[in-house]
């Protein structure tokens, strides 16, 4: 079976199993490998192609060179019941974040609100995956991430890259589909800029700032000496909005962790903030879903501007893509299977075979 653009589709269960086998061969235990594979494949199901299996090969290289830790558990820095800080020890960030979300859900059932902050983690991939995990269990969740070792966004009014795109995700249940908000403090992401540069194309808009302070759509400006940067949300006119959001996320992910840019850089990774709120311990789960469901319906019922067929709530398109991929198979972005091929050959694993016809199977 192929997608509309002719790309082959892969059964979800088989793809997850193959990626998990690659990470087991790379040194992860079975549980960690399965979680990493599930998170990366799930991101592709939802259409987040720069933060899904596109990251599998870089993660496997990180296991090879030791910049991702394969074994062990996070260090418990503090645990005060409703607030927990972990030292991530450069363990797989996807696995750490799943663990953090699950722990926060468990603690929120007792405290109403629970936060887990993870410092010195490896990269955490796609935030939307963690949002669905919590929202479909009846909780409201916030996940934010920054990378203390990377600078690619300049403060509003400045030209020197100082922080990362700093994604922020919020997910919550309604009386229908959950709402999944996945944004960043910058207009675009490092992954999108890198992909555009590799493919020799310009960005759809002037989302970057060159080293002289001029807006640009050329991804090459981030590689100059001195480098350019990604513009914050709001761009040249209203970038103070994205700047403020980025500062908030830096404080939540690094300030609360007590570890970040003030320390020597440690390499590609993440500082992570997870907060879960259990509506049952506020005005009640049914009341929460009634209010959030009303708002979702009101937004979808809004008359639209010219050229827009219907208002979509955040997460609608991702969930629709996920349902189709589970039924028909997932179409991967070009080059992903090829990038994984050397790791499969080294491990003696056959690459996944595209499906023909039948249902693709479930994903966790």
User: Over 298-316, what HEC string results?
Assistant: HHHCCCCCCCCCCCCCCCH
Query: Which tokens in the block code for residue 16?
Result: 């997850």
Q: Say how far residue 165 (Cα) sits from the centre of its chain.
A: 12
- Give CA separation, 111 vs 104, 137, 182, 267, 325, in Å: 10, 16, 26, 35, 37
Q: How far apart are CA 88 and CA 296, in angstroms?
A: 37
Instruction: Write phi, then psi, for 109 (nearest 5 degrees).
Output: -65, -20
The secondary element (H helix, E strand) that includes residue 10 is: strand 9-10
Q: How far apart are CA 163 and CA 213, in angstroms?
A: 17
Classify 282 as helix, strand or coil: coil
Q: How far apart are CA 189 and CA 222, in angstroms?
A: 12
Write out pLDDT tens, residues 137-163.
999 999 999 999 999 999 999 999 999
Which residue's entry shows tokens 């995956």?
Answer: 129
Provide CB contacts within 8 A for 308, sequence distance 6+: none
Instruction: Write phi, then psi, for 291 (nearest 5 degrees).
Output: -70, -50
* Domain chopping of the chain, boundaries: 1-73+315-364
Asked if 114 and 107 touch (Cβ cutoff 8 Å), the reply is yes
In this predicted structure, what is the pLDDT of residue 358?
47
In this predicted structure, what is the pLDDT of residue 4?
52
Q: How far apart are CA 13 and CA 333, in angstroms?
A: 18
Which residue's entry shows tokens 């549980």?
Answer: 31
Which residue's entry shows tokens 């899904």?
Answer: 52
Which residue's entry shows tokens 């109403």?
Answer: 112
Provide CB contacts within 8 A for 1, sequence distance 6+: 8, 9, 328, 329, 354, 355, 356, 357
Query: Which tokens in the block code for residue 179?
Result: 């709402």
Q: How far apart are CA 182 and CA 317, in angstroms?
A: 12
Q: How far apart are CA 125 and CA 272, in angstroms?
A: 11
- Give CA separation, 207 vs 165, 188, 210, in Å: 12, 7, 10
What global pTM score does this model have? 0.94
Q: How many Cβ atoms from other residues are within 10 Å of residue 50's Cβ?
A: 18
Which residues of the chain are under the pLDDT cut of 70? Answer: 1-6, 356-364
Q: How far apart are CA 192 and CA 186, in angstroms?
A: 12
Query: Which tokens in the block code for residue 214?
Result: 């001029």
Write out pLDDT tens, residues 235-252.
999 999 999 999 999 999
Query: Which tokens in the block code for residue 11?
Result: 């059964």
Q: How far apart are CA 115 and CA 96, in angstroms?
A: 14
Strand partners, 232: 186
Domain 1-73+315-364 matching CATH 1.10.1530.10: the answer reads: yes
């Amino acid at each position: 079976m192929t997608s509309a653009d002719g790309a082959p589709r892969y059964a979800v269960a088989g793809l997850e199993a193959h990626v998990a086998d690659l990470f087991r061969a790379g040194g992860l235990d079975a549980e960690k490998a399965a979680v990493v594979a599930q998170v990366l494949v799930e991101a592709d199901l939802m259409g987040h192609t720069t933060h899904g299996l596109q990251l599998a090969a870089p993660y496997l290289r990180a296991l090879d060179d030791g910049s991702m830790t394969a074994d062990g558990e996070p260090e418990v820095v503090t645990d005060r019941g409703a607030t927990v800080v972990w030292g991530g020890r450069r363990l797989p960030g996807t696995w750490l974040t799943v663990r953090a979300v699950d722990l926060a859900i468990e603690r929120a059932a007792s405290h109403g609100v629970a936060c887990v902050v993870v410092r010195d983690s490896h990269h955490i991939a796609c935030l939307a995956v963690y949002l669905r995990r919590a929202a479909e269990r009846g909780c409201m969740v916030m996940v934010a991430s920054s990378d203390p070792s990377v600078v690619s966004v300049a403060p509003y009014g400045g030209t020197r890259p100082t922080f990362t795109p700093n994604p922020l995700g919020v997910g919550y249940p309604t009386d229908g589909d959950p709402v999944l908000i996945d944004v960043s403090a910058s207009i675009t992401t490092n992954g999108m800029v890198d992909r555009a540069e590799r493919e020799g194309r310009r960005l759809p808009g002037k989302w970057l700032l060159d080293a002289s302070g001029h807006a640009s759509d050329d991804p090459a400006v981030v590689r100059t000496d001195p480098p350019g940067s990604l513009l914050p949300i709001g761009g040249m006119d209203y970038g103070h909005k994205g700047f403020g959001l980025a500062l908030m996320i830096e404080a939540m992910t690094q300030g609360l962790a007590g570890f970040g840019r003030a320390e020597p850089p440690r390499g590609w990774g993440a500082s992570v903030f997870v907060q879960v709120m259990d509506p049952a311990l506020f005005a009640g789960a049914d009341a929460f879903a009634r209010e959030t469901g009303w708002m979702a319906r009101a937004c979808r019922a809004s008359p639209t501007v010219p050229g827009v067929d219907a208002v979509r709530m955040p997460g609608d398109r991702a969930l629709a893509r996920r349902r189709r991929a589970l039924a028909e198979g997932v179409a991967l972005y070009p080059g992903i299977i090829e990038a994984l091929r050397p790791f499969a050959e080294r491990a003696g694993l056959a690459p996944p075979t595209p499906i023909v016809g039948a249902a693709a199977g479930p994903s966790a």
